[in-house]
Structure 1
Amino acid sequence: MTYKELKIQVSKNAQVPVEVADKVVEEVFHTLKSVMLRGDRLQVPGFGVFYTKIRSSRKVKTHGEIKQLPSKRVPVFAPAKALKKEIESNTF
């Protein structure tokens, strides 16, 4: 599903004009981004948690030489148990 398709689907499901759904979807993602940039967590019951964590510095070997990669903050999504169970029980 594309971002545009997501907005159209939200519009249909919520029975609102596409313009309204467009604004709502954009605001949800903008808010999620703001929360994560602050280093906070966004917990959605039954869906999961969005947060950031620090990845430690580490050594990697590339083309025969060893490099030291610096530590950095990375985005993380941890699905809720309910979502995991629902996905696992969904048959193909």
Structure 2
Amino acid sequence: MAKVFITKYALTEGIKEIETDIIRSRFEDREYVRDGLCSYFRIGENAFTDKSEALKKAEEMKIRKIASLRKQMEKLEKLSFKVEEKQQ
């Protein structure tokens, strides 16, 4: 059993800390962890064995989300409306 930090839903639920087995893929050179019955998370992508790496990933996710929201806000601020008259 290993302590693993799940970052998949860090922006909505926070970083989740679990104790689980690390599963090595037979087909790829990757490791995964399982949370519950059907949720799998890839080590180094959405799950980390090092807390500082999980915090770093969550911070990167936050920065990307803020940039995305700023872009959406800019698009909305530039938006203008006009009423089309109905022709008879």
* Larger strand share, 1 or 2: 1
Same fold at TM > 0.5: no
**Which TM-score applies when normalising by structure 2?**
0.32
**Which TM-score applies when normalising by structure 1?**
0.31
* Larger helix share, 1 or 2: 1
